[in-house]
Amino acid sequence: MDKMKLHRMEYYGYHGVFPEERKLGQRFYIDLELELDLREAGEQDALDKTVNYAEVHYTVKDIVEKESYQLIEALGERIASSLLDTYTSVNALTVKVTKPHPPFDIHFQGVTVELYRARK
């Protein structure tokens, strides 16, 4: 299966368990890997035969920036289900949600969840 990958899309959202995360917000990075057949798009050089990645970006942006979740797992689920519902040519996808600066009193470069979802 062919893949379309969108790397490190950056958004500002209000997700987290702690009240200050949901009030102040923070940066989130989203990576996507969409599994779909890209042959016709490549052979015909036709946008209507593929997924418009600019539209995908705006779909994800609306979810990350206009909705609020306690867990990045829930944010990832919402992104995955929305993309599978919207883009019927996508057979499966991987969503990676990274919170680069979680508010802990320890030092590390962030936390990431990665979800793989396929059509049933």
Give residue-wise pLDDT tens across range 32-43: 999 999 999 999
| pLDDT above 70 as % of the chain | 100
The active-site residue, picked from 61, 96, 99, 120, is 99
Global confidence as pTM: 0.94
Domains of the chain: 3-101 (3.30.1130.10)
Residue 5: beta bridge partners? 33
β-sheet with 26-35: strand ranges across: 3-13, 26-35, 92-99, 111-118
CB 14 within 8 A of CB 103: no
- Looking at every residue in the chain, the average pLDDT score rounds to 95
pLDDT digits (tens, 9 = 90+) for 46-75: 999 999 999 999 999 999 999 999 999 999
Do 56 and 5 touch, CB atoms closer than 8 A? Answer: no
Burial label for 66, CB within 10 Å (0-12, 13-18, 19+), is exposed
Please choose, from the candidates 80, 78, 81, the residue with its C-alpha nearest in 3D space to the C-alpha of residue 70: 78
Please give the average per-residue pLDDT across 2-28, as a whole number: 96
Query: Is position 99 annotated as part of the catalytic site?
Result: yes
